[in-house]
Structure 1
Amino acid sequence: MSPSLPAALAEHTLHQLLDRVPLKEVGSPYRTLRSPMTPDPVGAVRVFEGDGAVQRLVTVSLVVPMIHLDSHMVFAFTRADSAVPHFTLDSVHGGEYHAYHLDLIPRAELSPHLSYMDAAYHPLTPVYESASEREGLSRAHISPRQHALMSPWMLVHRATEAAFAGLTPIVSSYLEHWLGLLDGFPPDVVASLAGTDLAARDAAVRRNLFSPDVDPVWTQVSRLLGQDASDEIRALLIGEPVA
């Protein structure tokens, strides 16, 4: 059986990433996800770790046909002391619509660090503008608080099936740019960030980004999987040690 469109997009992205970044999987999978709604597994969490530019990669897949949910997330975290943004992709079918969320999450404030913004994000502008104007996309609801934690180059839309099926080149363009950033920034960009405590900022941002108070999806995840499973997934994303 062929994977669904959301699963295929996430799997393609994951394979591209693993082909280029040295990471080792922890468990196989790290956790199988279960729900009181059904005796069968409803998904899995996979965790990969490394000691290079990328510290941790987490994927979360949730497929629950009875509520028309088919959701796949890929999240790659760079080192705590790195200025390279984190990479994130959400790939979803929610019954009546497809949706996606694609971004490189900033590791420093953009407005006072123009050289960092230009190096990390400006090359994505043509792709961002092209993707935003594609036929079949519509605005996905995301709160101003969530927007504030992401980058201005974030792509987040609902999509028709045809539009969603054409997203692979867009996602690959963001991923290729991000992979290129892993080689490091020019010395002047690095020097411009000297006043930023990258690790402390990242810890604070990740606590907020994955807070149930900010993102209501965690309430839904807790309802579907139970509080313990939801808390464990959040802990992995926040950066706590694996069990």
Structure 2
Amino acid sequence: MALIVCHSPKGGTGTSFLSAHLALGLADAGADVTVVTVAGRDTLALHFGLPPATTLNALGGPSEDAVVVSGIDLRHMPKAPVDPDFMPMLGDLGYLEPGTGRVMVLDVPSNEFAFARRMTNQACAHLCPLDAAPDTLALLPQMFAEAGKGGLAHTSFVINRLDDTRRLARHNAAFIRELCGQRLIGRIRLDESVPEAIAMLQPLARYAPSSAALADVRRIVDIVRPALDNPVPAWIAPTSSSRAA
């Protein structure tokens, strides 16, 4: 079981969007995917075209109550960050066994930093979405300092909702590239079709198949996929052709 943690030090940077579309992309490639959100106020289901009132089952719950979209098992575990049995449960259910051909994408809200760190230690990858806003950039040096040497061994970054027609956004994106180096594996362009799809209760791929954001996130999935085959959790540094433009 490959575990991928999606977590950002700042809220509103698109962690649930990235989690959902990473899961969709991996499922399209043939993976057996479970996506779990631990957010108390969950919006993950909206990215799958489900209505806001949709209730997602917990891990280990009755299979007949499972919500499955495009072959992806959607789960909600808001108590996981404070539940000492969460990690043992993942082991008991086989979610931490290597070589099973299964993938879990874990959507962690920004305020659960300690939980994200614990889970990242068990993961083959940690994807950290950022936006190119000044308040997000202000958090990055602190994030690098708190992680310490080797603390970001499994972490790669994605710039989300990038409007490169704006000078400040371009300059801030350049700063992120300089700070993150090869850990920056892509960028997702600002695309109005993303909130429009949510408003229409449709998956983005159905509502706007030519969406720029959808094309960008699919390229990120192509970079992530090789890391899932590693028997030892590790992150494969992207080639120069795969880095964010």
TM-score when normalising by structure 1: 0.30
Larger strand fraction of residues: 1
Quick one: higher RCO (CA 8 Å, sep 6+), 1 or 2? 2
